[in-house]
Each structure stands twice: as structure tokens, then as C-alpha cells.
Copies of this chain bind each other. A is one copy, B any other.
Amino acid sequence: MGIFQRFARIPLKSTYIWSLCRQYSTDLTAVDRALIQHRCVHNRGLGASPGNPGAAPPRLPFSRVTQEDLAFFRTLLPGRTITDPDLLKSSNVDWLKTVEVCPQGGNTGLVGGSVPVFDEIILSTSLMKQVITFDNISGILTCQAGCVLENLSNYLEERDFIMPLDLGAKGSCHIGGNVSTNAGGLRLLRYGSLRGTVLGLEVVLADGRILNCLATLRKDNTGYDLKQLFIGSEGTLGVITAVSILCPRKPKAVNVAFLGCSSFQQLLETFQCCRGMLGEILSAFEFLDASCMSLLEKHLKLTNPITESPFYIVIETAGSNATHDEEKLHKFLEEVMTSSLVTDGTVATEATKIKALWSLRERVTEALTHEGYTYKYDISLPVEKIYDLVQDMRGHLGDMAKNVVGYGHVGDGNLHLNITSPSKDPALLAAIEPYVYEWTSKWKGSISAEHGLGLKKRNYIYYSKPSEAVALMGSIKAMLDPKGILNPYKTLPDNIH
């Protein structure tokens, strides 16, 4: 997912690519090359302003790619240095259509973190899709950064294991990008964050050195845990080229329940009851509101399997004994139905039906893209507060917004607040921001729970982090990337004070 700012005399790329080639040339010839795309130069970006802090900053004074540089890349990567504008066209728009860029790797991010802003050279890891090792005693997988998450999941399921993370974009996102952005997703409630499950990384630093911390040990307290620097730093401190990760056993039984609640308060009470009664087999507790369901029905022609409700819950259990799990789930459902916490529900134990129920949660993002333009917010809050923000925002925006919808990970206190409009609307944006960030900050929430800051949210960091912390982040960036050539304009704010 790393994107490289082109730099005079290309000391970075040459060292990096040579290092990669040297390292893998013996046994991994089919995947040892990185795809370099040369983005056509756009001089966009008038700079972020108080009214538009997500705008691109002015281009920094990096030099431009010369014909000599291109000749060098072509020698290094014959047939893989792409500069033809027509060939680049299909890659120049990311899937949200908000940034004109040439993406690489999965390009499934939501904050413009994986796309170049000006004429940065793109380094794609999409050919680095090899599983290096898998140990079926420990469950530790080591693979290259360009492996697609779903491919890894399939690989592991054949071996009776699963990936510790799962997300809607699994069909295209890369594990290197997942780690670079510290992706959360649908299984975090059960298996924890990548900060715990990632055991090792191989990272290429800004000066071309390879940092080999690709350990496959559950515990290692020898010195500082350097890999943590690269998890979630969006490629601004180094480029992740390989990952080792601890994978759980594949559960023998999986059940999914899709339930309706008449209020968010009842949803929260259902959550509390669920944690107590399902305990260690609970693997997901997700929600969507009625507005999300309308969009799923309207744009994707999905069918609501239960009676209409203001709120819908997806609960997944995963365990080692089908009979026990069904008994626990049955008792729980009996409890929430008789106490009227839940108004209607359906349960699936068969794979196809499970997938269908999950798609009601996973495809909300996709349904939203059909609405015109979507302003997306990914907020962490104390769980009892998460829907207050949606309701407050509806009142605050009134008729200005086409839709204000909420869905997300109740178990993690993570709300996806989405506001739609027929097209980009600066007046609407001005009504949303900084209001939404001030609201979040007031409740000590995070303005980016799992999406990262990327380009779009970089200047809002102070709503969630004190200036001492941001200053220290700046020092870390300066230490690891003194020339600022790794994924510029991302993660850190334009001004560090």
C-alpha cells in the first residue's frame, strides 16, 4: 500500500527495489517485482484552509521524474513501469470517486491514504502475493504484503484455521494495507486488534534498509517492539513487504442471528445480555439502522428477512461444539424475545444463509455509494453514546442532508456515520465539520476508529490527540523519514504545533 513521493536521483526506489530483488530472486522469481506506476502530473491542491482542512496541501518541493529515471525503472522492472495515461486511467480514480489518483494494491481505504496526491511514484505490491510459511501447530502465517485478505482466508480455511480479521473489502484489500492501516473489521470483538495478532513484519525503510522483524513467536520482549511503529502508520514510516500473523483455529460451529430492536436503548440492553449469555462464543455484534436497510433494499435489491424495525443487529457466534453453541444462542434468544428487547429475528447455521445475513451488514457501504456523494465518519465513542451522534446530526442538518445513517461495530464502540447528498455540497460539509469532530471530542471519542487519517482527516488529528502527542509523532516521522518521501501529505497534519 506504500506510495512513494518521487525524489531526486531516486535513491529510495533504487535501493528498495534492488533489495527486494536481491532478497527474493532465488526462490520467488514469479513475485519478486513491484509494479511502479508513474502518475501523470496534476497540480491540484490549493492547500488546506480553515474551511476545508481535508483539501490537499500545496505540492512539496520534490523534484520531478526525468526520462533518465524512467529508463532506470524500465531496466529494473521491464514491462512493469507504467506511464501511459490511457493505461493509468482506470487506476486514477479510487472507488469512492473522491480523489483523482492511481491507486495500487487493494485501494480500499476510505480516507485517501493509499493514493498519491500529486506526482508521487506509486509502488504497488500487488504481485507480492505469496504465502511464505504456515505452521499448523502454532497457527502462525507468514506471507508477502500483497496477499488479498480473502485469498488468505481461503488458504487458511482449507487448513482448519481462519484469519483474525475480516472486513467487507476482503475481496480486494491486501494484508500489507490492512496492517499499515491497522484495519479493524468484523472480528475485532473476538480476536482483538492487529497490534496483538501481528507477530512480525518485514519493512523497507525510507533509506532502503530492510528491517527484518518477521518473527513467528507469540512472545518476544527483546528491546522495543519496532513493528508497532509500522502498524497503522499508513506507509508514512516504512513500506511493509511481509507479515507474520497469529491465526485462530477455524470454529467448528458458526451461527448468525439477525434481530430487530425498537430502540437503541433496547439494542444496548440486548448487547449486555448477549455478552453475559454468549460469553466466549460471541464473535461479532454489529448494527445498522432502518435507513441503512432502506438503502440496501432500494439500491442492491436485498430483502429484509424480518419485520421492519428501527434497528437491526447481526450477532455471530463461533465455537467448538455446535450443540453447546446452539443451546446458548437459543437461551439467549428466548431471554431477549420474552423480555421484549428484541421484536423479531431469524437465525442461520448454514453457510449460504449466513452469508446472506452478513451481506445486510457488509454491503451498507456499497449501497451508500449509489446515493450520490457520501460524507463518511468513523467514530469511536463510549458505546452508550454512539447513536446519540446520529440523532443529533439529523436534527442539526435537517433538510440539508439526503440521508443520515448509522451502522457499525457496537461491540467496539465504533459508529460509521454516513451523510449523503445528491452531489458534493460545500454548505452541507460546512454544517457537518467541524461539528461532528467537536461532538466526538467532547465525549473523548476518536475521530478515526479504524479508517485512519490518510489525506482527508489529517488536519483533524488535534480533536483526538493532544499537541504533545502530535509533536512526538512528528519527531518519529523526522527520525525515520528525514526527507519526507514516504506517503507525503498523509496521517500527520500540515502544521505541527
Residues of A within 8 A of B (CB): 135, 137-138, 181-182, 184, 188, 192-193, 195-197, 205, 209-213, 215-226, 228-229, 231-233, 237, 249, 251-252, 272, 275-281, 318-321, 324, 327-328, 380-384, 409, 412-414, 444-453, 457, 461, 464-466, 468-470, 472-473, 475-476, 479-480, 491-492
Contact call B450/A221, Cβ cutoff below 8 A: yes
B413–A219 CB distance below 8 A: yes
In contact, A219 and B280 (Cβ under 8 angstroms): no
- CB contacts (< 8 Å) of A229 on chain B: these are 224, 228
Q: Are B469 and A211 in contact (CB under 8 A)?
A: yes
Q: Which residues of B contact A461 (CB under 8 A)?
A: 222-223
**B280 and A468: CB pair below 8 A?**
no
Number of copies: 2
Question: Residue among A196, A222, A252 with the most chain B CB within 10 A?
Answer: A222
Residues of B within 8 A of A215 (CB): 444, 446
Can you identify 26 A-B contacts, CB atoms within 8 angstroms? A137-B272, A137-B383, A138-B413, A205-B468, A209-B468, A210-B468, A211-B468, A211-B469, A211-B472, A217-B381, A218-B413, A219-B414, A220-B380, A221-B446, A221-B448, A221-B449, A222-B446, A222-B457, A222-B465, A223-B465, A223-B492, A228-B229, A249-B276, A249-B279, A251-B280, A321-B328
Residues of B within 8 A of A231 (CB): 225
Contact A249 B275 (CB under 8 A): yes
Extra contacts besides A188-B219, A222-B447 (6): CB < 8 Å: A137-B383, A184-B219, A184-B221, A212-B468, A217-B444, A225-B228
Q: Which B residues are CB-close (under 8 A) to A192? A: 192, 196-197
> Which residues of the other chain, B, contact A446 by a CB distance below 8 angstroms?
215, 217, 219-222
Inter-chain contact A182/B324, CB cutoff 8 Å? no
Q: Are B280 and A319 interface neighbours, CB within 8 A? A: yes
A222 engages B464 (CB within 8 Å): yes
Q: CA of A251 to CA of B280 in the docked complex: distance in angstroms? A: 9
Min CB distance A470 to B, Å, is 7
